[in-house]
Amino acid sequence: MGGINALPLSNSETMRLFQVEGYANQKDQLVQGRWVTPGYFSAMSIPLVAGRLFSNGDTTHTGELAIVNRSFANKYFANRNPIGGRVNVDDHHVQWSTIIGVVGDVRHTSLEESPAPQIYQPVSETDGGYVVVRTSRAPKAVAAEIRSALHAIDPNLAASDIRTMGQLESAASARRRFQTSLLTIFAAIALSLALVGLYGLITYSIGRRTRELGIRMALGAKRSDMMLLVLKKAALLLALGLISGLITSWFAARAIQAFLFGVGGHDPIKILSVCVLLVVCGLLAALIPARRAASIDPMQALRTE
């Protein structure tokens, strides 16, 4: 269990003026500031990268010690060891804090934004904040016990807005999930129209070549040859469509970049997966016309004008 003044993805933020010893500081530069209890990092499973975490004895040295995240260390302590370095987050720029540890990055404001530099300092008591509880039990049961414990300590204390990190993550990604759902629906409609179009085109082509196919079969062509002939035409159409689609998607990647998270605009695995899906679906759509071509009666086809 641990506590913090501003929980990730909770729409709360604390920005602080700061300076870094040995760095070319800018005027009025800001950093995300956090007040945490010693158990916060373990409760949130934030990994320790270097140095050590806060201990219970560090709460008496509030303002003298600090832990920074990886992004802060990479930016302000490039090519030097951040452990033992000093930062100043005092409003009056008087007290300097010694960095004792570096922890992993946490996306605080949004799941889509890159983690910002952060500074953590120890705290023993605060006027308000968030309590983090890590448990393997049912969240509702734990929430009820927390409310009971707070009421037993002080009837005037109240725990509000008790949510799991999964719920916070779900709320933070709700907009993108909605956009993804719409894109999935539109993509499914587009794929269906493409398959219907391919089926209709091949069926029309077979109708136009009925006499030709009948002659081929009369001259000894096998049913398998007819199916292969139709599937080859479908494969050619698919190849032309894929090439034109890949060219278009290459130039359209910048337009859809804002809808992507965790992948690049030209992710080869995703593009290859889509191509394979289109090829499989296209060949399946061409299978019915191909079987129809293989079942043409040569005598009837020769009578067709």
In this predicted structure, the answer to whether residue 164 has a pLDDT above a threshold of 70 is: yes
Indicate whether 254 belongs to any domain.
yes
Q: Which band of pLDDT confidence, cut at 50, 70 and 90, is reported for residue 68? A: very high
Same domain flag for 6 and 130: yes
Indicate whether 170 belongs to any domain.
no
51 sits in the region (left: phi over 0; alpha: psi -120 to 50; else beta) called left
Give the angle 86-90-93 at the CA atoms, nearest 5°: 80
Same domain flag for 98 and 180: no
What pLDDT, on a 0 to 100 scale, did the predictor assign at position 48?
93
* Structural domain ending residue among the three candidates 134, 160, 194: 134
Q: What digits encode the pLDDT tens for the residues 109-133? A: 777 778 889 999 888 666 667 778 8
Same domain flag for 12 and 68: yes
Q: What digits encode the pLDDT tens for the residues 173-203? A: 788 788 888 888 998 898 888 778 877 877 7
Question: How many Å apart are CA 30 and CA 109, to the nearest integer?
Answer: 15
Indicate whether 210 belongs to any domain.
yes
Overall domain count for the chain: 2
Question: How many Å apart are CA 298 and CA 305, to the nearest integer?
Answer: 13
**171 vs 77, residue with greater confidence:** 77
Same domain flag for 20 and 81: yes
Indicate whether 115 belongs to any domain.
yes
Indicate whether 165 belongs to any domain.
no
Same domain flag for 90 and 208: no
What pLDDT, on a 0 to 100 scale, did the predictor assign at position 262?
55
Percent of the chain at pLDDT exceeding 90 = 10
Indicate whether 163 belongs to any domain.
no
Same domain flag for 223 and 291: yes
In this predicted structure, the answer to whether residue 265 has a pLDDT above a threshold of 60 is: no
Give the range of the structural domain holding residue 24, as residue numbers without chain letter: 2-134
Q: Tell me if 71 sits within 8 A of 120, measured CB to CB.
A: no
Two tokens, residue 27: 């005027």
Same domain flag for 121 and 192: no
Q: Tell me if 102 sits within 8 A of 70, measured CB to CB.
A: yes
* Structural domain ending residue among the three candidates 103, 134, 165: 134
Same domain flag for 114 and 185: no
Length of the chain equals 305
Q: Tell me if 14 sits within 8 A of 87, measured CB to CB.
A: no
- Residue in this structure with the two tokens 């129809």, named with its chain if needed: 292
**39 vs 207, residue with greater confidence:** 39
Q: Helices in the chain by DSSP H: which ranges?
A: 40-43, 70-76, 139-153, 165-172, 174-208, 210-218, 223-256, 268-294, 298-303
Q: What's this model's pTM, rounded to 2 decimal places?
A: 0.63
Same domain flag for 9 and 113: yes
Same domain flag for 124 and 14: yes
Indicate whether 164 belongs to any domain.
no
State whether residue 86 is helix, strand or coil.
Answer: strand
In this predicted structure, the answer to whether residue 36 has a pLDDT above a threshold of 80 is: yes
Two tokens, residue 228: 């292969």
Same domain flag for 291 and 183: yes
In angstroms, the Cα distances linking 253 to 54, 243, 257 are 45, 15, 6
Q: Tell me if 98 sits within 8 A of 84, measured CB to CB.
A: yes
- Pairing assessment for the beta strands 97-103 and 65-69 based on DSSP bridges: parallel
Indicate whether 162 belongs to any domain.
no
Same domain flag for 119 and 225: no
Q: Which band of pLDDT confidence, cut at 50, 70 and 90, is reported for residue 302? A: low
* Structural domain ending residue among the three candidates 117, 134, 151: 134
